[in-house]
Amino acid sequence: MKAPDWSEWNYIPEVEVWQAVALSMNLEPNNFRINTHTTLLGFGSFFKEGTFLNIPMELEFEKRIRLVLANLVEEKVFSKVVINRIELRQSKLNLSEFVNWILKDKIFKNIPKKLRIIAIKSRNLVDKNKSQNCEEVIKKDKKTGGQNVKWTRERVEALQIEHNKLKFKNHRAPTEVLAEKYGISCTRIRTLLRKNK
């Protein structure tokens, strides 16, 4: 079987369960031969005979399908799922959530690098959106000097993101930069960041 065409799959946010599993095994879903009669009736073999190169590959595929289906309705894993009641394998899920889940929990072995990139891109997008709000959230504190303001969880998380960004850029003194920027002491920043862990 061919490897996936990642130039296509990188831009498909929602996939069917069986497609996600195929991608996790570095197999092109468009090359799978689906048995349309059984999918419409809801019983029988989902794939036509000869779809898989060998029995171990088919067994691994079926095992991965079972693991995904067992976690399909877990809100901690997938935020939005469209369930297909006739054929659960055709239920839709978010591909980046699927990848994040299998990487975080180390569900499957040998995940393709190109599939990992989908997870990294989605995390970077989330981090970028969070960091755009960071300065706005923390600036509210600067107006009052930062000292007597209640540091909510949201403000501390914003501070943590900015601190991590500076550390990532190998800045020598991220705490001092933030202290000067927001008008609070280095000790206060360290205390807030420690409490956030």
Residues 103-162: pLDDT tens digits? 887 888 888 888 888 777 765 544 455 555 555 555 554 455 545 556 677 777 777 777
Contact 11, 58 (CB under 8 A): no
Q: Regarding predicted confidence, which is higher, 144 or 63?
A: 63
- Which residue segment(s) compose the domain that 51 sits in? 6-111
pLDDT at residue 22 above 60?
A: yes
Asked if 24 and 108 count as a contact pair (C-beta separation under 8 A), the reply is yes
99 and 56: one domain?
yes
Residue 118 within a domain: no
pLDDT, position 170: 67
Q: What is the pLDDT of residue 149?
A: 59
Cα separation, 157 vs 106, in Å, equals 27
Judge if 101 and 130 occupy the same domain.
Answer: no
121 lies in a domain? no
pTM: 0.60
Are residue 148 and residue 62 in the same domain, yes or no?
no
Identify the CA nearest to 118 among candidates 4, 3, 11, 2. 11
Establish if 179 belongs to a structural domain. Answer: yes
Answer yes or no: is 117 within a domain.
no
Residue 131 contacts residue 165 (beta carbons within 8 Å): yes
In this structure, the answer to whether residues 82 and 157 fall within a common structural domain is no
Q: In this structure, are 93 and 35 located in the same domain?
A: yes
| Tally of domains within the chain | 2
